[in-house]
Amino acid sequence: MLEGIGSALNILLTGEAIGLLILGCLIGYIFGLLPGLGATAALALSLPLVIRMDPIVAMYLLAGIMGSQTCGGAITAILLNTPGTPVNAATCLDGYPMAQKGEAGKALSIAAFSSLFGAIVGVFILVALVPVVRSMIMSFTPPEFFMLCFVGLATVAVAVRGNVIKGLTSACAGVLIGFTGYHYMTGAVRFNFGTDYLWDGIPIIPFFIGLFAIGEMLMIVTTGKRTISRVATVSKGGRLDGVKEIWKYKGCFARSSVIGVIIGIIPGIGGAVANFVSYLFGRQFSKTPEKFGTGHPEGVIASETANNAKDGGALLPTLAFGIPGSAEMAVLLGAFTLIGLVAGPTMLLKHLDVMYAIIFGLVISGILATLCTIFLARSFAKVTTIDVSYIVPIVVILAFLGSFALRGSILDVAAAVIFGVIGYIMRKSGFPIISMIIGYVIGRIAENAFLQALAISDGSYAIFFTRPISLTLFVFGLFVLIFPFVKKVGRSDG
């Protein structure tokens, strides 16, 4: 282990590695800042650069991209209600209301430090769990996947604000949208209206950009607002507000870090799920759940901590077994192939320096991105005081470009517009956006896991209740459903 750390540090101290790490940080930050792009696109575009590189030097470039993109994505999420990346989507729910109240600088500071500390916790847990990673990963089979999704959907059911019926309706609509397209197990093509475009389902980037960015711009235009916020100040000493708030809500930070790592470990779940599940759990166990969605710092901490902590977890199955824990890790595996590395148990035995290079790169990139955000927070916050007649066209153009960029399809732009209108109607009618997002993200994962589990058990539902982890998750999901009523009864008795 010490040899691997020493080798990674020796190469880090070279000018080439430092320069590429800084370059990767800038690329990730900019791609995170631009809605619809994010780390996956940045990593994919960077693959040709790593072909002839030393493996460890290449890892510093790629880790720089991964470590900074969520911090960049939080900026547009907070200032413009437009998540720069899908994993920043839940940040909009409290970050943007904080900006509207003139607390943009504070929200940016909270997001920056939550992302940084979350990443640090994630990589420390990664190092600690390497010896037991095999048994942990192999314990999650389809029944456990399904019950994990059940926990997430149960959390949605109890965490919606306002009208519960509207919240559940939104969640069900999100699940149905997630079911769109071809299903590999049944062979059925659902809700595609006879078009090839919907064969693979509703693409996530136009879906998110439409609901958040375009929908919010329509709201701004129709309400006649002149600016997003009347004031956008960073109070004296405000650059450390993030640290103060994290300490104030340290329980939320610790819980969100663990949630991020656990969801990151499970292959195929992704940062968007960690982002929302952490947010919903934060609201569920908060002492002031009614403040969530109104511009509450605890909401920003919950979402931004988890979306960076998940990187440490996602590296476990990626490095140990060659099973990508997220879309970014899938691209990272492609980079391994280009530079002659093979992910698997031998990597943790013979190439520990590669793992530590990624860890050091993630942490240093997170530090650089945090410094960039907090020292430029005053300038970023001024965006909220610009006349919306300038802001709206820019955001809409960026939304169109972001929707088009990943696949080069004009139909993705059309999909973003359609979901923008849907998002606008939902806002006007009081239907919560978050419920639809969670239903969309979790629904298809839950369906696949459910059908796979039944195939394994020859149609027996007992498989969900006879496996220890699956049963534990089921009981926990029931607890999530029952807890609000117990809490309410306890308050009334008090």
User: Could you tell me the two tokens for 434?
Assistant: 């978050």
DSSP state of 237: T
Q: Give the up-direction half-sphere exposure of residue 362: CA atoms within 13 A in the CB hemisphere.
A: 29
CA dihedral 485, 488, 489, 494 (to 10 degrees): 160
What is the 3-state composition of the chain as percent helix, strand, coil, each rounded to the nearest 5?
Answer: 80, 0, 20
Spatial separation of the C-alpha atoms in residues 494 and 483, rounded to whole Å: 16
Spatial separation of the C-alpha atoms in residues 142 and 138, rounded to whole Å: 11
| Direct distance between the N- and C-terminal alpha carbons of the chain, in angstroms, rounded to an integer | 54
DSSP state of 225: -
Q: Identify the three-state secondary structure at position 162.
A: coil
Q: Assess contact for 82 and 209: CB atoms under 8 A.
A: yes
**What pLDDT, on a 0 to 100 scale, did the predictor assign at position 339?**
76
User: Could you tell me the two tokens for 343?
Assistant: 């992910």
Spatial separation of the C-alpha atoms in residues 77 and 30, rounded to whole Å: 14
**What pLDDT, on a 0 to 100 scale, did the predictor assign at position 29?**
84
DSSP state of 261: H
Angle at 111 (CA atoms; ends 400, 403), nearest 5 degrees: 10
Q: Assess contact for 232 and 105: CB atoms under 8 A.
A: yes
Q: What is the pLDDT along the chain (494 residues), one digit of tens a residue?
A: 555 567 766 777 777 888 888 888 888 887 777 665 566 667 766 776 777 778 888 888 888 888 888 888 888 888 877 777 777 778 888 888 888 887 877 888 888 888 888 888 888 877 777 666 655 556 777 888 788 778 767 766 665 555 567 777 888 888 888 888 887 777 778 877 778 888 888 887 788 778 877 887 888 788 776 665 554 444 444 567 778 888 888 888 888 888 888 877 765 555 667 777 788 888 878 888 888 888 888 888 888 888 878 777 777 777 776 666 666 776 777 777 777 776 665 666 667 777 788 888 888 888 888 888 887 766 765 665 677 777 788 878 877 887 887 678 899 899 989 999 998 998 888 887 767 877 787 777 788 888 889 989 988 899 999 888 889 888 988 887 777 667 666 655 55
Spatial separation of the C-alpha atoms in residues 374 and 235, rounded to whole Å: 12
Q: Identify the three-state secondary structure at position 339.
A: coil
Spatial separation of the C-alpha atoms in residues 486 and 479, rounded to whole Å: 10
DSSP state of 35: T
**What pLDDT, on a 0 to 100 scale, did the predictor assign at position 119?**
84
- Which residue do the tokens 């476990």 mark? 316
Identify residue 313 by its one-letter amino acid code. G
Q: Cα separations (Å) of 124 from 258, 260, 325, 363?
A: 11, 13, 17, 10
User: Could you tell me the two tokens for 104?
Assistant: 């943009």
Pairing outcome for strands 189-190 and 181-182? antiparallel
Q: Assess contact for 60 and 361: CB atoms under 8 A.
A: yes
Angle at 484 (CA atoms; ends 481, 487), nearest 5 degrees: 140
What are the DSSP calls for 383-441, one per residue? GGGS-HHHHHHHHHHHHHHHHHHTT--HHHHHHHHHHHHHHHHHHHHT--HHHHHHHHH
Among candidates 122, 94, 100, which has minimal Cα distance to 308?
122
**What pLDDT, on a 0 to 100 scale, did the predictor assign at position 142?**
84
pTM over 0.95: no
